[in-house]
Structure 1
């Protein structure tokens, strides 16, 4: 298929594009909402994978704009989101997309959604409170489909992104900027999920939901859990990168 992938987080976009291309698809990427709308108008795509939280124009608004500019004859559109919030789910469901895929993007999930027909894709659910800390299969799939040096490079970039987002999250929490903190938690959830850091993904999604709920009573505990999960995730990525390099 010819796919438009709209994703602003660089390491998530790189990994998703690499996997899609190795699966035989032709991929065009967009890093923000306006670029996604322009790309959809300028070319013909079989599928649009649209991140919900895009700069410039949110993904749900970008979907509406694409539908409008193509008089409803837009390609199939699936939303991509790491959000566990009720608001995020409502936005995905109400924007006119054909379905929703929960990040991280997995080829088997995409294939199942495409085979099932419109509105059959999975919706983001509340993150489980427990489970494995890491998904070795996520990295194994990358190693099966990509050159080892490319895998190591992507993992290194993911680790750097998580450190950057963690610092930004800490600063936002220190200054009481809940909106920015929620955005950083969302970004951490997206990156960590794509690269198999399941415990960090769970805690980041829970933190995002707590930050968007002014009545959340256990926010300090959610902050602590997210902070505690970051260092092990970085160590896991370092080990995986070293293994990939041989």
Structure 2
């Protein structure tokens, strides 16, 4: 297929594009909402994968703009989101997209959704009894990409997670719930693509708590901090294995 991938987080975009291209698809990747709208106007795509939290123009607004274009009813559009919040899921459901994929992007889930065996919308919540790390996520990348490329992506991911973790701590320290929620959302999106399951679960839970104005998310924030440290160790071990 000819696929437009709109994803602002660099390491997530690189990994998703690599997986899609190795599966035989032609991919155009953009990193913000206006670029996604422009690309959809310039070329005919079989499928658009649209991140909800794009800069410049949010993903749901970008979908609406694409649907208003002369060929806007033609492409199939799936939203991509790491959001666990009711607001995020509602935005995906009513914007004119054909369904929703919860990050991380996986080829089997994408194929099932396109085949109609799995509809859009949020899947069941992840269980706290699930393993902390999905070794299969890294293994899949190793099977589809050169070892040096995988190590590079893992290294970049660890650096991004450190940056987001620091920004999260700073936002919580000054009581900036909106920024903290955005950072939790970014951590969830990046960590899931690289097999850090427990961190993704905790970050999504923190994002949901921060959406509620009367909650005090100190315990959940501490949990995310601990999971982040463990995730960084996991990524470092994975990169060292080559």
Fold shared per TM-score above 0.5: yes
Question: How do 1:63-212 residues align onto structure 2 when only pairs under 5 Å count?
Answer: 63-70=63-70, 72-116=72-116, 120-212=119-211
Give 1:70 deviation, angstroms: 2.8
Matched residue count: 242
- Report if the CA contact (8 A) 1:84-1:124 is conserved: no
Gaps of 5+ in 2: none
CA gap 1:131/1:120 in 2 versus in 1, 3 angstroms: same
CA deviation after TM superposition for structure 1 residue 71, in Å: 5.4
On the 8 A contact 2:80/2:101 being kept in 1, the answer is yes
Structure 2 CA distance for aligned equivalents of residues 87 and 127 of structure 1: 19
* Equivalent residues of 2:131, 2:197 under 8 A apart: yes
Distance 2:22 2:71 in 1: 33
Q: Distance in 2 between matches of 1:172 and 1:127?
A: 26
What do you get for the CA RMSD once the two structures are aligned?
Answer: 1.3
CA distance in 1, matches of 2:58, 2:130: 31
SS in 2 for 1:69: coil
- State the 1:69 CA deviation: 1.4
Contact 1:89 1:124 in 2 (8 A): no
CA contact (8 A) 2:77 2:98 kept: yes
Task: Tell me the CA shift for residue 221 of structure 1.
Answer: 1.2
3-state SS of the aligned residue for 2:49?
strand
> Which TM-score applies when normalising by structure 2?
0.97
Q: Tell me the distance in 1 between the aligned counterparts of 2:72 and 2:4.
A: 17
200-209 or 119-128: bigger deviation: 119-128
1:37-89 deviation digits (Å, cap 9, x = unpaired) = 00000111000000000001000000000000135423000000000000000
Tell me if the contact between 2:93 and 2:121 (Cα under 8 Å) persists in the aligned partners.
no
Distance 1:73 1:187 in 2: 30
Q: C-alpha offsets along residues 90-128 of structure 1, whole Å, 9 cap, x if unaligned?
A: 0000000000000000000000001117x8235254443
Structure 1 unaligned runs (5+)? none
Q: TM-score, normalised by structure 1?
A: 0.95
How far the C-alpha of 1:224 sits from its partner, in A, is 1.1
